[in-house]
Amino acid sequence: MKRPARSRERERAASDLFAALYPRLAGWCRRLVDDDGTAHEIASEAFTRLWARWTSVAEPQGFLYVTAANLVRDHWRKLERERRAVRRATAEAAVVPPAEPDDPSVRLLVQSLPDRLRVPILLHYYADMPIREVSVLTGRKEGTVKADLHAARELLRAHLRRSLDHTH
């Protein structure tokens, strides 16, 4: 079964528009959100919303950029809410110890870590967040989060070795 010529024309126009505008739109989003993956998600979502209204949008490029700007704003708001929640959670974790810690000595060691190392440990190991999410929440690059987790583990390992050596 053949599609009507008008349908093929619309699909071709949409495809041409995507090829012409997607790289520029994604690049613009990248500069705003400072993350490739998020930028591509936002640009893709803007195009998805355009396709849903394809026949009623008079100015597709303007629609794409306004939609992307709204999605970027939503992304920034979400990040700020997450940062506030992390600050509250880490402040509460530092003030209110867990009801039944697995190992009080490890908990105390984690609490004694500098903020730069403690926060990624709490988020990654205690809140089960993937490194990418810890990166977003702390505003650090994934490589930095990995390096901080490694440094924190090394400090904890050294402290635990010393405490075990003193007990035997």
Q: Comparing 159 with 106, which gets the higher pLDDT?
A: 159
Instruction: Please calculate the CA angle 155-159-165 and round it to the nearest 5 degrees.
Output: 145
**Using one digit for the tens of pLDDT, what is the confidence trace for 30-72?**
988 889 999 999 999 999 999 999 889 888 988 899 899 889 8
**Using one digit for the tens of pLDDT, what is the confidence trace for 93-138?**
666 554 444 455 676 777 778 878 888 887 777 767 789 888 887 7
* Strand positions, DSSP E, 22-108: none
Tell me the pLDDT of the chain averaged across its residues: 83
Q: What is the pLDDT of residue 101?
A: 44
Contacts of 109 (CB under 8 A, 6+ apart): 155, 156, 159, 160
pLDDT at 17 over 50: yes
Q: What is the pLDDT of residue 24?
A: 92
CB 30: neighbour CB atoms within 10 A? 17
What is the percent of the chain with per-residue pLDDT over 90, rounded to a whole number?
29
Instruction: Name the residue type at position 57.
Output: V
- Spell 38-53 as b/e; 16+ CB within 10 A means b: bbebbbbebbebbeee
- For residues 42 and 32, what is the distance between their CA atoms, to the nearest angstrom? 11
- Spell 141-164 as b/e; 16+ CB within 10 A means b: eeeebbebbeebeebbeebeeeee
Q: What is the pLDDT of residue 44?
A: 96
- Name the pTM for this structure: 0.52
